[in-house]
Amino acid sequence: MVNPSGPVSGKGPITHVIFDMDGLLLDTEKFYTEVQEIILARYNKTFDWSLKAKMMGRKAMESARIFVEESGISDSLSAEDFLAERESMLQKLFPTSDLMPGASRLIRHLHAKGIPIAVATGSHKRHFDLKTQRHGELFSLMHHIVLGDDPEVKQGKPSPDVFLAAARRFEGGPLDPQKILVFEDAPAGVLAAKNAGIEMDWLHSGWLPSSLKDFEADDFNDFNQGGLILIVSFPSAPPPPPPMKLSAVMVPDPRLDSSHHDTADQVLSSLLDFDPKFWDLPPFEDVES
Ligand SMILES: O=P(O)(O)OC[C@@H](O)CO
Ligand SMILES: [Mg+2]
């Protein structure tokens, strides 16, 4: 995706921001990688970024199934046993989680300027508490936080559930998806955000026919598995509005192949490179650290 550095504007004005957490705000993806490399080494296998790219951002059991099946070890290690073994190692690592560069500055800046901010993460509460125990004050600046085991989150990313729940919990809803900016590090997360934008857009524009409102989420998810974005049309309904109005800024790990960047509206190498003016958000003051 284009990564403009000039004055070209995004699709602002943005009024609300939703942050992914692992790999975006917290430097925690390295812990998952480290532990998975240790487990695979026992089978004389190596963990590579093409597999990591498929796992990132997804619910634990979903990513576990991908791990054991794509590594070819599912006959020796079940997804459940992999999660149990990984858990004991992660429990020791998570409390040492550091912030990603630029995360604190951006969160404090948006909060100080009165821009409502939230977190939408695949992490479950027990992991969230461990990962954020050194960063409680910073996370207290969030208007709300939606976790992977929230009752409203039926399906993990790339399904839109966690972002739809996060968008709904801001005051003054329902929001126009065009005014929401999502920050993500993972391909599944960017896709989840775009899918949420489409669903919110259809609801916001009134296009979504009532018969679709009870559309089964896992059917929707089936389309997402292949990275396709579901577009359905009913004979009586007008064509859907142009999708993709919700904007997503991707801050991927440099080891992630750039072919995974295509769905993002902007790609940055670090949150330190984010320019709020590009999205019509209040500019940083020079003195901010
Ligand atoms: O949605 P995030 O915060 O990236 O969490 C993903 C986590 O489940 C590990 O990949
Ligand atoms: Mg992430």
- Identify the CA nearest to 9 among candidates 212, 214, 247, 188: 247
Which of 72-76, 196-200, 243-247 has the highest mean predicted lDDT (pLDDT)? 72-76
10 lines ligand 1 (CB under 6 A): no
Pocket test for ligand 1, best of 25, 121, 157 (most atoms within 8 A of CB): 121
* pLDDT for position 175: 85
252 lines ligand 1 (CB under 6 A): no
Helix (H, G, I), strand (E, B) or coil at 250: strand
Give the pairing of strands 180-184 and 117-120: unpaired
Confidence grade of residue 59 (pLDDT, cut at 50, 70, 90): confident
* pLDDT for position 7: 39
Residue at token pair 């925690």: 28
Task: For residue range 22-31, list pLDDT tens digits in order.
Answer: 999 999 999 9
Q: What is the pTM of this model?
A: 0.83
Nearest CA residue ID for atom 6, ligand 1: 57
Task: For residue range 153-196, list pLDDT tens digits in order.
Answer: 999 999 999 999 999 999 987 788 889 999 999 999 999 999 88
* pLDDT for position 238: 63
Hey, what are 10's tokens?
A: 């995004």
| CA of 162, nearest ligand number | 1
Confidence grade of residue 242 (pLDDT, cut at 50, 70, 90): low
**Class of residue 25 by CB neighbours under 10 A (exposed 0-12, middle 13-18, buried 19+):** buried
The percent of residues in the chain predicted with pLDDT above 90, rounded, is 67
- Residue 60 alpha carbon, nearest atom of ligand 1: 8
User: Considering 20, 150, 201, 265, which one is annotated as catalytic?
Assistant: 20
Distance in Å, CA 87 to ligand 2 centroid: 18
Residue 119 has pLDDT above 70, yes or no: yes
Residue at token pair 């079940």: 78
Range in 84-98, 180-194, 202-216 with the lowest mean pLDDT: 202-216
- Identify the CA nearest to 50 among candidates 253, 195, 191, 193: 253
Task: Please give the Cα distance from 36 to 86 (Å, whole number).
Answer: 7
Task: Please give the Cα distance from 175 to 45 (Å, whole number).
Answer: 47
* pLDDT for position 229: 47
Question: Is 150 an active-site residue?
Answer: no
Contacting residues for 160 by C-beta, under 8 A, at least 6 apart:
192, 193, 195, 196, 198, 199, 220
Question: Is 161 an active-site residue?
Answer: no
Phi and psi of 22, rounded to 5°?
-65, 125
Distance in Å, CA 131 to ligand 2 centroid: 13
21 lines ligand 1 (CB under 6 A): yes
Range in 69-83, 238-252, 264-278 with the lowest mean pLDDT: 238-252
Residue 226 has pLDDT above 80, yes or no: no
Residue 100 has pLDDT above 50, yes or no: yes
Range in 11-15, 115-119, 253-257, 266-270 with the lowest mean pLDDT: 11-15
Distance in Å, CA 28 to ligand 2 centroid: 9
22 lines ligand 1 (CB under 6 A): yes
* pLDDT for position 265: 95
Residue 244 has pLDDT above 80, yes or no: no
Nearest CA residue ID for atom 9, ligand 1: 57
* pLDDT for position 197: 81
**Torsion sign, CA atoms 168, 173, 177, 182:** negative
Phi and psi of 259, rounded to 5°?
-65, -15
State which amino acid sits at residue 71. Answer: S
Distance in Å, CA 103 to ligand 1 centroid: 16
Nearest CA residue ID for atom 5, ligand 1: 122
- Identify the CA nearest to 142 among candidates 158, 121, 124, 172: 121
123 lines ligand 1 (CB under 6 A): yes
Residue 272 has pLDDT above 90, yes or no: yes
- Residue 59 alpha carbon, nearest atom of ligand 1: 8
